[in-house]
Amino acid sequence: MAFFTEYLADPRTRSALLEQALEHVYLTAIPVLVAVVLGLFLGILAHRSPQLRSPILSVVSTLLTIPSLALFAILIPIVGIGAGPAIIALTLYALLPIVRNTVSGLFSVDNAVIESAKGMGMSATMRLWKIELPNAWPVMLAGIRVATLLTVGIAAIAALVGGPGLGQEIFTGIRRIPATGSLESLLGGTILIVVLAVLFDLLYLAIGRLTIPRGIRE
Amino acid sequence: MSDETTATPETAIGKGSELGETMIELQELTKRFPGQEEPAVDRLTLKIPKGEIVVFVGPSGCGKTTSLKMINRIIEPTSGHIIIDGEDVTDIDPNHLRRRIGYVIQQIGLFPHIRIGDNVATVPQLLGWDKERTSQRVDELLEVVGLPPDQYRERFPKELSGGQRQRVGVARALAADPPVLLMDEPFGAIDPITRTRLQNEFLRLQSELQKTIAFVTHDIDEAIKMGDRIAILQEGSKVAQFATPEEILTNPANEFVEDFVGTGATLKRLKLTRVREVQASEALTGRTDEDRDALRKRFEESEWTAMLLLDPDHKPLRWLRGSDLRSSRPLEKLGLPARAYVEPQATLSDALEEMLLGSAGVAIVVDRGGAYQGLLDIDGIITSIQAMRDVDAEFYRAAKLADPEGEVSV
């Protein structure tokens, strides 16, 4: 097959792919980082306040049901084309796993642990930072990981609204079907996205090792 | 409530039946939970004397736990007052209040993500102690609860057994040396053998520390064993009787108390007497580092039918019979293993149980380090039951003399 002998052998292809891959990384990382901050806040709020819990969870769930292409398109008139609509849309998608796991992580902390923290005179803020979040962290981190993998995949659509990333190579391929080399482009973009996903997964494995306290590791 | 306590005839029986200096005072303490018609705790008024263990005991749903949790305001009272050491703490900042009160719960609630040492250091850290003082205190406390700090300080809660975890729970509650401890069924979720051991160790600790302790249990036997004073609670935390265990066993205030205490009051009273209060008898002993022939000679010249073999640290090892020493096998393998150990602060009930389990009819009294102190046999226990009965008879006579018309029913 010409994939290795011609497509990947061409240095121009290789450097273009590398550049797109790097774009793809930041197209994933920025929305995930923003979603972590926002999601943590919403998650803690939903855990604390029974009145806000169900509105918050319904809104973030509904966001995920909007087809990605439609969401990108809706954002174009507001923020224009390019990376802008992509980053906003991807942030919204990444929220659900993070918010949901933050809430269930906080609920999974043993009541006796919280009661004893309270009984020793820890304030609500101290309990949150010193007891609840550290113990909820494994579940929260799992949510962030799912959000990241989700974002790596959906980020490919960004190319359709003029956005950066490996989606460009995929859509180049799709547009040129059935011309020679179209299948190679399609495959090249897709395989690299999968590789990125695997690398992100390994990164989370490492983060988990470093940040989950030994006392609560499986 | 106060009527009921003063109605009990003043007697010399029992320990500290006079109320000493009050440490915790509950005044008309009431809790109504939203949506419930009857208050969970209805105007509870009680004085807990300084340095005593007061046990709240009663059937489930009587409000004993709610009452306890109002003292450190984990549950905020609907009305009434809590006075601790003369200060009304009903409206002060609950976090500051709680740092002055040790809190031990049945489910323990150790922080799973931090090490044992850090768990124990929680309150000292909240109080802003410096590192050195905190770490010295942590080591001291782990030592006190029988967990050598070198082995346990760096471990995580999941690496400990249930009994060890509750030892840490107790150490954590004692960390900042609070004058008051609240204990909500602290030994309830622990297997019976470990529970007995923890109870005994805790009583020994308390005899040194002299904390003021409110202790909740549903188990009357535990209440009798642990309490300097017992508050038997009915629904709504109504105090059915507040008295020393002796008074409750010999003179229950009403039918509810009588039913709750149940049958077998004499057996229960065995839980009131400690092994150290009974004269232990001596055994013929020999140590493994003595000459075998010397042991044999001493054995044969004595009138004993058995010799207790101790190791060089005086820890009991084996029971030997006369013929055993004639064999040439190593001393440690002769005779029968020595079983049924009790510590001086164990109750006679514990000792009796050990004797029955060990099927030797004797229990070996050992000190904290496991060294031999003496023997306790069935006769010793029977003698002390006899003594209790004599005291009772004395009490009836005195009560009748004081009030010839009055009916004394026990």
**Band (B7; pLDDT cuts 50, 70, 90):** very low
Question: Residues of B368-386 as b/e, b for ≥16 C-beta within 10 angstroms?
Answer: eeeebbbbbbeebbeebee
pLDDT band for position B218 (50/70/90)? very high
Query: Cβ contact (<8 Å) for A113 and B112?
Result: yes
The reply to whether residue A116 touches residue B103, judged by beta carbons under 8 angstroms, is: yes
**Structure confidence at residue A37 as a pLDDT band (50, 70, 90):** very high
Bridge partners of residue B102, in order along the sequence: B181
- Choose from A111, A114, A115, A116 for mutation: most chain B CBs within 10 A: A116
DSSP A5: I
Q: Six-digit token pair at B261?
A: 């205490």
Amino acid residing at B326:
R
Chain A residue numbers with beta carbons less than 8 Å from the beta carbon of B158 are 215-216
Tell me which chain B residues have a C-beta less than 8 angstroms from the C-beta of A121: 94-99, 123, 126
Nearest CA in chain B to A212: B113
Instruction: State the pLDDT at residue B359.
Output: 64
In this prediction the pTM is 0.75
Q: Which residue of B has its CA nearest to A134?
A: B113
* Residues, chain B: 410
CA A19/CA A11 separation, integer angstroms:
12
Give, for B298, the enclosing helix (H) or strand (E): helix B292-301
Contact B277, B269 (CB under 8 A): no
Q: Which residue has the higher pLDDT, A41 or B362?
A: A41
Q: B109, A112: Cβ pair inside 8 Å?
A: yes
ipTM: 0.85
pLDDT score of B9: 37
Chain A residues whose C-beta sits inside 8 Å of any chain B C-beta: 110-123, 126, 131, 134-135, 213-216
Distance from CA of B116 to the nearest CA of A (A): 10
Q: Which of A29-38, A163-172, B84-93, B144-153 has the lowest mean pLDDT?
A: A163-172
Give the strand pairing for B307-310 and B316-320: antiparallel
| Distance between A87 CA and the closest CA of chain B, angstroms | 35
| Nearest-by-Cβ selection for B114 from A111, A122, A213 | A213
More confident residue, A74 or B49: B49
What the block records as the tokens of B137 is 């205190």
Q: What is the CA radius of gyration of chain B?
A: 24
What value, to the nearest 5°, has the Cα angle with vertex B336 and ends B331 and B337?
Answer: 85
The answer to whether B113 contacts A135, with C-beta atoms less than 8 Å apart, is: yes
Residue A8 vs residue B76, higher pLDDT:
B76
DSSP B265: H
User: With bands split at pLDDT 50, 70 and 90, how would you rate the model's confidence at B306?
Assistant: confident
pLDDT digits (tens, 9 = 90+) for A168-211: 889 888 888 888 878 888 888 899 999 999 999 999 999 999 99
pLDDT digit string (tens) for A62-120? 998 888 888 888 888 888 887 888 899 999 999 999 999 999 999 999 999 999 999 99
Encoding tokens for residue A28? 């994933």
Interface test with A, best of B113, B185, B216 (most A CBs within 10 A): B113
**Residue B121 carries which side chain, given as an amino acid letter?**
A
Give the percent of chain B with pLDDT over 70: 90
Distance from CA of A120 to the nearest CA of B (A): 5
Tokens 């979040």 belong to: A133
Q: Are B57 and B223 in contact (CB under 8 A)?
A: yes
- Report how far residue B410's alpha carbon sits from residue B402's, in angstroms, rounded to the nearest whole number: 17
- At B383, the pLDDT band (50, 70, 90 cuts) reads confident
Interface touch A112/B108, C-beta < 8 Å = yes
Can you say how many angstroms the Cα of residue B387 is from the centroid of all Cα atoms in its chain? 23
pLDDT tier for residue A165 given thresholds of 50, 70 and 90: confident
Give the pLDDT mean for B5-32.
Answer: 66
The tens digit of pLDDT for each residue in A104-161 reads 999 999 999 999 999 999 999 999 999 999 999 999 999 999 999 999 999 988 888 8
Instruction: Give the separation between CA B82 and CA B22, rounded to whole angstroms.
Output: 12
- List of chain A residues whose C-beta atoms are within 8 Å of the C-beta of residue B116: none
pLDDT at residue A99 in the model: 97
Q: What is the mean pLDDT of residues B374-382?
A: 85
Q: Identify residues of B whose CB sits under 8 angstroms from chain A CBs.
A: 72, 74, 94-99, 101, 103, 105, 107-115, 122-123, 126, 156-158, 169, 172, 182
Distance CA B316, CA B314 (A): 6
Q: A110: nearest CA in chain B?
A: B109
Per residue in B105-164, pLDDT tens? 999 999 999 999 999 999 999 999 999 999 999 999 999 999 999 999 999 999 999 999
Q: Inter-chain contact A115–B108, Cβ cutoff 8 Å?
A: no
Chain A residues closer than 8 Å to B103 by CB: 116, 119-120
Phi, psi of B405 (to 5 degrees): -80, -25
Q: Do A215 and B112 lie within an 8 Å CB cutoff?
A: yes
Could you tell me the two tokens for B170? Answer: 């107790």
Cβ distance of A216 and B107 shorter than 8 Å:
no
> What digits encode the pLDDT tens for the residues B252-299?
899 999 888 887 777 777 887 888 888 778 888 888 888 888 888 888
d(CA B183, CA B160): 21
**H-state helical runs in A49-132:** 50-65, 68-79, 83-107, 111-119, 124-126
pLDDT confidence of B399, banded at 50, 70, 90?
low
Q: Residue B3, exposed/middle/buried by CB under 10 A (0-12, 13-18, 19+)?
A: exposed
Mutation site, B66, B99, B105, B111, interface A, largest A CB count within 10 A: B111
CB contact under 8 A, A215 and B97: no
The answer to whether B74 contacts A213, with C-beta atoms less than 8 Å apart, is no
Residue B80 has what pLDDT? Answer: 95
- Is 70 exceeded by the pLDDT of residue B382? yes
Q: Collect all residues of chain A within an 8 Å Cβ-Cβ radius of residue B111.
A: 113, 116-117, 131, 135
Q: Quick check: B402 pLDDT over 80? A: no
How many alpha carbons lie under 13 Å from residue B404 in its C-beta half-sphere?
Answer: 0
Check CB contact under 8 Å for A116 and B72: no
B98 chain-A contacts, CB cut-off 8 A: 118-121
Predicted confidence (pLDDT) per residue in B223-248, tens digit: 999 999 999 999 989 999 999 998 89
Minimal Cβ distance to A216: which of B94, B97, B113: B113
Question: Which structure tokens are listed for B215?
Answer: 């202790």
**In 3D, which of B327, B316, B294, B321 has the Cα closest to residue B306?**
B321
CA distance A107 to chain B (A): 15
Query: What confidence score (pLDDT) does residue B234 get?
Result: 93
pLDDT bucket at B251, cuts 50 / 70 / 90: confident
Nearest residue in chain B measured CA to CA from A121: B95
Kindly state the average pLDDT of the residues B6-15. Answer: 37
Q: What is the pLDDT at residue B403?
A: 59
Burial class of residue A163 (count of CB atoms within 10 Å of its CB; 0-12, 13-18, 19+): buried
Nearest to A123 among B95, B111, B123 (CB): B95
Q: A211 vs chain B: nearest CA distance in angstroms?
A: 11
pLDDT at residue A80 in the model: 81
Which of these ranges, A169-173, A206-210, B22-26, B96-100, has the smallest mean pLDDT? A169-173
Cα–Cα distances in angstroms (integers) from residue A134 to residues A106, A129, B158, B372, in the given order: 9, 7, 16, 48
| Contact assessment for residue A112 and residue A57, using Cβ atoms and an 8 Å cutoff | no
Pairwise CA distance, residues B25 & B49, whole Å: 9
Contact B97, B72 (CB under 8 A): yes
A vs B: CB pairs below 8 A? 75
